[in-house]
A and B are shown apart, each in its own frame.
Chain A
Amino acid sequence: MSNSLSAVISIGFHGLAFAMVLYLISVGLSVTMGMMGFVNLAHGVFAMLGGYVLTSLMSRMGVPFALALVCAFVATALGSIVVERLLYRRLYGGDELDQVLLTMGLIFMSVAAATYIWGPLQQPMHPPRWLSGQVDLGFRSFPGYRSFLILCGAALVTTLWLGLERTRFGMKVRAAVDNLRMAQSVGINTSRLFTLTFALGSGLAGLGGALGADLLAINPSYALENLVFFLIVVAVGGLGSIRGPFIAALLIGIADTGFKYLLPELGAFFIYALTMALLLWRPRGLFGRA
């Protein structure tokens, strides 16, 4: 395999894995923001929670990887329901600034809480044995865990798309995203729908944070550090969409990795310049519906 081709494939591959993690975490945010217009900056907190649940279960209680993932999803989904009922509900349709203040406040509290419970150091994450090592595809081999991430991302986007297009629940979600008032007037219980969607989206974020703990380190400042990435994926992808964040995450993940490889000196600028350009071209995001 020629060297440059090998390098390109390697970069593409790793960028893809990074993109999958971003997608997993951000898709929930896109749908909920599109549906309820709620600026949830604290979305990263759910991803962080998923990561902490996974790493704590695996390292302290020896829980196997697959089970720990399920726990991460469930714990985060349940936690999000509590937060939504108690706090977010009050601010639907309200002033954006209040939403910003509330969710920023939640992020701050999460930083302190995480420091208190788990300490300031980042949590170690060791992929399980059956996923470590290399996957040999004949012409070259790829890191096992990253391959797994790509498969997960692909499986998820397919499942979500099918779910959105083929189920009643998905139909209601699409209706609510397109026109909330009309959806309410045809009898859809939007309040319950939103709680369920929010729980699903946050659970996915928790799952993404857990799966991605190898790439985006789990530490108390997680929600703050990665806030910008998640917002970029959602803004560029477009609100209320499943495909949008996927394409955006691919673009950002692969382009960012590629650009840093080719022109490392300008690596820091690129992702932001790209975001600005894309948003100028398509102000509502690539696939924005809301």
Chain B
Amino acid sequence: MIGRRSAAASIAVALMSLAIVARPAPAQTVVKVGLISSYTGFVAQAGDQAQKAIDLYLKEHDKDLPPGVKLEILRRDDTANPEVAKRLAQELITRDHVQLLTGVILSPAAAAIAPLTAEAKVPLLISIAAGGSAIPRISPYVARVSFTLWQQGYPIGKWAAEQGWKKAFTAVSDFIPGHDSEVSFTKGFTDSGGQIAGAVRMPPQNPDFVPFVQRIRDAKPDVVFIWVPSVQGTAFVKAIRDLGLRDAGVQITSAQDLLPDEQLPAMGDTPLGVITSGIYSTAGERPTNTAFLAAWQREYADTAIPNFLSVGAWDGMTAIFDLIKATKGKFTADEAMSFFKGWQNPDSPRGPIMIDPDTRDIVQNIYIRRVDKLEGRLANVEIATIPQVKDPWKELNPAK
């Protein structure tokens, strides 16, 4: 017979077991990261290259997150407008409460966001591009894993002078990244004994580069250094072809932006022999690069080729994942920054990289590459390595 007492007891037991069963699962830590990049506007191609790398990394490494930790990436398009980037950063911080910001292609966008990082104490890890040297100095909460323009320009200037070329001519786009590239090459070249025979600055919106290549020919230098944004690489190469610059005996050098890996196959044979400095080439012979390319091939087949922007974005994700793994997803801004300072990744597709603890900027190998034919296709073949280069501008201009 089920008396009242036993009924009450069974109800109590039932309620207690319900309470045990219904106890909330261990709290999920959600790490929110704001990704600000350009998906429309004139750098849309760059944004696309980086996004593919980020998507691939997340797919491959999602399982590496600690149990109970989820990563939420909030993607925003700054439409290549720095003031939009600033407003998006503001919204990500105040409305979405992100713990970290990353991405960024344009230097002015990064420069606009940097003051916010100090005011709100939210770190910014520049991972795609934004290579203006002074940016990490704007705020102590900025770190970078992409590259700087001086890192590209200075070493090749120095290397070119060391090859015995005496006279150099520079041709760059007439806006700040172009100026930085010109000044850094010139410094590297002249510091090692070379002479600059002339310089030309070209209008940024420019379909036809023939008049400028003609000027290069007129000056008859031993070597020419060129810098144009990566979207204009093909157009410049066509002007080189049409004016026969190579046949005129001028060694053509540039930074990686002239011959991005994904545009190289479509440029015909003109780029053969062009020497560039860069942080990454798909032809780089490293086991980590082979694995990276294999993963890329599995996911994207022939629809895309990774380039230096993809690798920056990839390493940015690596750094963020390492941070999450080390802190189980719970970190303050200061903890994140001390983690990033001195962070190393020996297994990056571009070789060993590190974030300098003093400058919070990327330290990486700079490769001198020459365009050769590999298996019937053009590739940036690495012919020399300058190891662990720190940003030369900061070295030459120490912070007071």
- A contact set with B: CB distance below 8 Å: 3, 7, 10-11, 14-15, 18, 115, 119-124, 126, 143, 146, 214-217, 220-221, 225-226, 229, 257-258, 260-261, 264-265, 267-268
Residues of chain B within 8 A of A119, CB atoms compared: 303
Can you name 10 A-B residue pairings with CB atoms under 8 Å? A14-B242, A120-B48, A122-B234, A215-B208, A260-B212, A261-B211, A264-B200, A264-B201, A265-B201, A268-B174
- Closest chain A residue to B208, Cβ basis: A18
Q: Name the distance in Å between A225's Cβ and chain B's nearest Cβ.
A: 8
Residues of chain B within 8 A of A122, CB atoms compared: 231, 234, 263
Q: How far is the CA of A122 from the CA of B210 in the complex (A)?
A: 20
Q: B210 contacts A11, CB within 8 Å?
A: yes
Residues of chain A within 8 A of B242, CB atoms compared: 14, 143, 146
Q: B352: CB under 8 A from chain A? A: no
Residue of A115, A217, A264 touching B212 (CB-CB under 8 A):
A264
Q: How far is the CA of A131 from the CA of B336 in the complex (A)?
A: 59
- Closest chain A residue to B207, Cβ basis: A216
Q: B193: CB under 8 A from chain A? A: no
Q: A7 contacts B44, CB within 8 Å?
A: no
Q: B68: CB under 8 A from chain A? A: no
Residues of chain B within 8 A of A225, CB atoms compared: 205
Q: Name the distance in Å between A139's Cβ and chain B's nearest Cβ.
A: 16
> Given known contacts A146-B242, A268-B174, is B208 in contact with A10 (CB within 8 Å)?
no
Q: How far is the CA of A261 from the CA of B241 in the complex (A)?
A: 17
- B contact set with A: CB distance below 8 Å: 42, 44-45, 48, 174, 200-208, 210-212, 214-215, 217-218, 231, 234-235, 238, 241-243, 262-263, 265-268, 303
Residues of chain A within 8 A of B268, CB atoms compared: 126
Q: How far is the CA of A221 from the CA of B79 in the complex (A)?
A: 13
Q: A261 contacts B266, CB within 8 Å?
A: no
Residues of chain B within 8 A of A146, CB atoms compared: 242
Q: Name the distance in Å between B362's Cβ and chain A's nearest Cβ.
A: 26
Main secondary structure of the interface of B (DSSP, over half): helix
Q: Name the distance in Å between A172's Cβ and chain B's nearest Cβ.
A: 36
Q: How far is the CA of A127 from the CA of B243 in the complex (A)?
A: 16
Residue of B174, B204, B214 touching A10 (CB-CB under 8 A):
B214
Q: B262 contacts A121, CB within 8 Å?
A: yes
- Closest chain B residue to A212, Cβ basis: B207
Q: A11 contacts B214, CB within 8 Å?
A: yes
Q: Beyond A10-B210, A216-B207, A264-B202: 16 further Cβ-contacts under 8 Å?
A: A15-B210, A18-B207, A18-B208, A119-B303, A120-B48, A122-B234, A214-B238, A229-B207, A260-B206, A261-B212, A264-B211, A264-B212, A265-B201, A268-B174, A268-B203, A268-B204
Q: A121 contacts B45, CB within 8 Å?
A: yes
Q: Name the distance in Å between B281's Cβ and chain A's nearest Cβ.
A: 18
> Given known contacts A122-B234, A143-B242, A264-B202, is B211 in contact with A221 (CB within 8 Å)?
no
Q: How far is the CA of A124 from the CA of B45 in the complex (A)?
A: 15
Q: A260 contacts B201, CB within 8 Å?
A: no
Q: Name the distance in Å between B215's Cβ and chain A's nearest Cβ.
A: 6
Q: Name the distance in Å between B221's Cβ and chain A's nearest Cβ.
A: 14
Residues of chain B within 8 A of A215, CB atoms compared: 207-208, 238
Residues of chain A within 8 A of B204, CB atoms compared: 268
Q: Name the distance in Å between A20's Cβ and chain B's nearest Cβ.
A: 12
Q: Name the distance in Å between A86's Cβ and chain B's nearest Cβ.
A: 27
> Given known contacts A217-B234, A265-B201, A268-B203, is B45 in contact with A7 (CB within 8 Å)?
no
Residues of chain A within 8 A of B217, CB atoms compared: 7
Q: Name the distance in Å between A149's Cβ and chain B's nearest Cβ.
A: 11
Q: A10 contacts B243, CB within 8 Å?
A: yes
Residues of chain A within 8 A of B174, CB atoms compared: 265, 268
Q: A7 contacts B218, CB within 8 Å?
A: yes
The residue in B45, B205, B243 that gathers the most chain A C-beta atoms within 10 A of its C-beta is B45
Residues of chain B within 8 A of A124, CB atoms compared: 234, 265-267
> Given known contacts A124-B266, A264-B200, is B211 in contact with A258 (CB within 8 Å)?
yes
- Closest chain A residue to B215, Cβ basis: A261
- Closest chain B residue to A265, Cβ basis: B201
- Closest chain A residue to B243, Cβ basis: A10
Q: B238 contacts A11, CB within 8 Å?
A: no
Residues of chain B within 8 A of A264, CB atoms compared: 200-203, 211-212, 215
Q: How far is the CA of A126 from the CA of B263 in the complex (A)?
A: 13
Residues of chain A within 8 A of B206, CB atoms compared: 260, 267-268
Q: How far is the CA of A214 from the CA of B237 in the complex (A)?
A: 11
- Across chains A and B, which 7 residue pairs bring their CB atoms closest together, nearest first? A124-B266, A268-B203, A261-B211, A260-B211, A14-B210, A143-B242, A267-B203
Q: A257 contacts B208, CB within 8 Å?
A: yes
Residues of chain B within 8 A of A261, CB atoms compared: 211-212, 214-215
Residue of B202, B207, B208, B214 touching A7 (CB-CB under 8 A):
B214
Q: How far is the CA of A128 from the CA of B257 in the complex (A)?
A: 27
Residues of chain A within 8 A of B212, CB atoms compared: 260-261, 264
Q: How far is the CA of A215 from the CA of B234 in the complex (A)?
A: 10
Q: How far is the CA of A217 from the CA of B243 in the complex (A)?
A: 18
Residues of chain B within 8 A of A126, CB atoms compared: 268
Q: How far is the CA of A120 from the CA of B204 in the complex (A)?
A: 20
Residue of B42, B200, B211, B263 touching A257 (CB-CB under 8 A):
B211
Residues of chain B within 8 A of A221, CB atoms compared: 42, 44
Residues of chain B within 8 A of A123, CB atoms compared: 266
Q: How far is the CA of A224 from the CA of B238 in the complex (A)?
A: 22
Q: B210 contacts A257, CB within 8 Å?
A: yes
Q: How far is the CA of A3 from the CA of B42 in the complex (A)?
A: 37
Residue of B44, B202, B205, B214 touching A120 (CB-CB under 8 A):
B44
Q: Name the distance in Å between B307's Cβ and chain A's nearest Cβ.
A: 11
Q: Name the distance in Å between B32's Cβ and chain A's nearest Cβ.
A: 28
